[in-house]
Structure 1
Amino acid sequence: MKKLLGLALLMLLLISATGTTSVENELHPSIEGTWELTSRYNYDGENVTDTLTPVKGYSQIKMFYNGKVMWTRYTPNKEVEWFGYGSYAATDNTLVEKLEYMSASMRKIANEDMQWSMELQLDNNTFTQISLDEDGGRIASENYHRID
């Protein structure tokens, strides 16, 4: 009887710990995972002025894991390659990416230190990275949904 009671208490403890983990993830979502671009927004400094959705066949994927970021873009009927790899740091509202290497087409438009600091809006299944001008005004965003 004592063994049965002990087993029941152990099962109850394991079930309650599992429930707590789910609540913790909902309260503090993680950017770690694989994400696919769903749309882009253009801003007038504060408000969205235009929404752009990918054309058929276009795909942009970002992966975040263990402080590393990797992204790739496939554009049908184009010979230009777009990809990059580096490190990232995320807080509740900021995403900083510092690329170590990238495609030649990306290098042509990259800033000198290959680092980007962006506003971050994150929940469990979506995230948005918003590019800001030197005064903190919003320029454009990339909007992603979690695929893994």
Structure 2
Amino acid sequence: MKKLLGLVFLMLILVAGTELSSPEPQNNNTLEGTWELVSFNNYDGNNEVTTLPATEGYRQIKMYYNGKVMWTRYVPTDSIEWFGYGSYIATDSTLTEKLEYMSASMRKIANENMEWQMELVFDGDKYSQIFTDEEGNRINSENYKRID
């Protein structure tokens, strides 16, 4: 009986060690994953770009999985809640998010169909979602890094 318990214990250690040492490889060729906002770009229309880092304590996290998107924003100096949930479609150069559920503060500024179409610049562990005007001119962007 002691040998059987010892064998079971040894197998559990080996299985646990294997799971810890060999995680599934991360696919950096997809938007699927968890992202943190690191900076903003402002475009002035004359090919000038101003990059602003996120302020200290500010956190915005986005998660993309199985065609769904969820995001939340924390601003330490602001008691207003910002979050949303919905679906997304990403191509090589575009990102479309359609929210189904969102905070009251987000609902106040949302467009009628709660859909946002953005230019997408994707580079493995970082991406930018770029907002454009009606003529396709860049206005500003949110720039993210992969955290999972």
User: Same fold by TM-score, threshold 0.5 exceeded?
Assistant: yes
The 3-state SS of whatever aligns with 2:145 is: strand
Residue 48 of structure 1, CA deviation: 4.1
8 Å CA contact retained: 1:46, 1:138: no
Q: Which runs of 4+ in 1 moved over 4 A?
A: none
% identity of equivalent residues: 65
Equivalence map 1:122-141=2 (5 Å): 122-141=122-141
- What CA distance in whole angstroms lies between the structure 2 residues aligned with 1:109 and 1:134? 18
Query: Counterpart in 1 of 2:121?
Result: 121
Instruction: Normalising by structure 2, report the TM-score.
Output: 0.79
**Structure 1: where are the runs of 5+ without partners?**
1-20
Alignment of 1:20-31 (within 5 A): 29-31=29-31
Structure 2: unaligned runs, 5 residues or longer = 1-24
Shift of 1:45: 3.2
Listed one character per residue, the Cα deviations across residues 63-113 of structure 1 (whole Å, up to 9, x for unaligned) are: 000000000000003110000000000000000000001111111111010
C-alpha distance in 1, partners of 2:66/2:47? 33
Cα distance change on mapping 1:113 and 1:46 into 2, 3 Å: farther
Shift of 1:47: 2.7
SS across alignment from 1:143: strand
Give the TM-score taking structure 1 as reference length.
Answer: 0.79
